[in-house]
Amino acid sequence: MPVCTLYSLEYKPDPASWFGRIRHAPGAVLLDSGRPVAMRGRYDLLSAWPLDTFEPEPDESGAVFFQRLRQALTLLGHADLPYDCALPFAGGLIGLLAYDFGGRLETLPNRALDDLGLPAARFGLYSWALINDHELKRSHLLFHPSLEDAEQQRLIQLFVGDAGDAGEYDHTPFELQAKFTADLDADSYQHAVERIQRYIREGDCYQVNFAQRFRSPYKGDEWEAYCRVRNACPTPFSGFIAIDDGAIASFSPERFLRLTEGRVETRPIKGTRPRGANLQTDAEQAQALLTSAKDRAENLMIVDLMRNDLGRSCQIGSVQVPELFSLESYPNVHHLVSCVSGTLAEHQDAFDLLAGSFPGGSITGAPKIRAMQIIDELEATNRSIYCGSLLYIDVRGEMDSSIAIRTLLLKDRQISCWGGGGIVADSDWNAEYDESISKVKVLMEALEPVTP
């Protein structure tokens, strides 16, 4: 079996110093664990110059698109890692699924306006990657066996020494040209929440995740915007993907699906409290979340949904809940997080797992299909990248993916972000409105100019 080649580099705990060297390259992508501040993630993964790029055709189903991606991995060719090497990626696909890709997997009406023009999915096929292993404190260039020696040497020279450092690039400093403004006013938000609660009383659903969008014009370098928010809000499932006329900058705390050696894991978040102003109030907020009957009930509802979704692709009887109602804390919020795991069934792969589970239940509601229909009815515009996923799938079939919450779309000189929450029968619309803002407040404040 062909084996990947590794080239060791000086370990750097912050991947920004590496990524700056390829920031302007075609197809530049960074999947970022948020180190050295965020401590839950182990690896950073970055690459550029894809061999090919894949987007869905206008009327192409999700199943047909996934089959094209399978064929791309087959053409690149299976490869193993060197013996006793724990790196997560051996060459393959890195990219995004927009939330709206779910409409290609399920039969859904599409009444919402698409005014952002992001493709429903976009993947590059990469034959090399730079990977930081923060547990072992090592940085490696990984080369798929198909990559020619001359290209390997070019990449080694690019990353060795100080040549090509980010500071050598000319760029326009990032600047918002107005404060973020919401697409919905408070009255419209209240009306939507009350409509969801009528659907719940009528038996259509148990919970619906409802979101609102915030926007601002901007100018300057999108990578600088990413670095500013990263400094304010490091998270273990961050990422930066260069796209036409802009970039995606994600600061997600939430894993969607991980597949490694046949084991599947998802970690849904449901339940949020803002951080307190001091140690005492912060501890009180955390304890209030941990003991909240409402938040625990919502979290359990999504755990049951994800157990069902994983059951579509996992061996019968293998789906378990090894972790329930854990607390995870970030610079602006506390989250209630659970874990659902399983063993992938024979003749199933990462694409089958995605097809049976996307988009994640924590950002739709329950039952999932009806909740998605209500989201489409009540949200004024498509979600685009929000609540989609940044992910990789390598030539061995390994996968890891985020749920793209706390995410910015910078495109055509307009920056957009979204905040939302799960609406249930006893939700208070004022509290939900405030929560939707608190979830993205740290992103907005990191980019808005300081008022004298």
Active site residues: 254, 270
Which of 443, 399, 356, 362 lies closest to 95, judged by CA?
A: 399
Residue 335 bridge partners (DSSP): 272, 328
Collapsing DSSP to helix, strand or coil, 151 comes out as helix
Collapsing DSSP to helix, strand or coil, 359 comes out as coil
C-alpha distances (whole Å) from 184 to each of 164, 205, 211, 212 are 44, 23, 10, 7
Residue with tokens 């390829």: 22
Q: β-strand 320-329 against 5-9: which pairing, if any? A: unpaired
CA distance 420 to 214: 11
Question: Within 13 Å and on the Cβ side, how many CA atoms surround 223?
Answer: 23
Q: Please, which residues have CB within 8 angstroms of residue 324's CB and are 6 or more apart in sequence?
A: 299, 300, 303, 338, 339
CA distance 238 to 251: 4
Burial string for 82-100 (b: 16+ CB within 10 Å, else e) reads eeeeebbbbbbbbbbbbbb
CA distance 221 to 113: 28
DSSP string, 396-447: TS-EEEE---SEEEEETTEEEEEEEEEE-TT--HHHHHHHHHHHHHHHHHHH
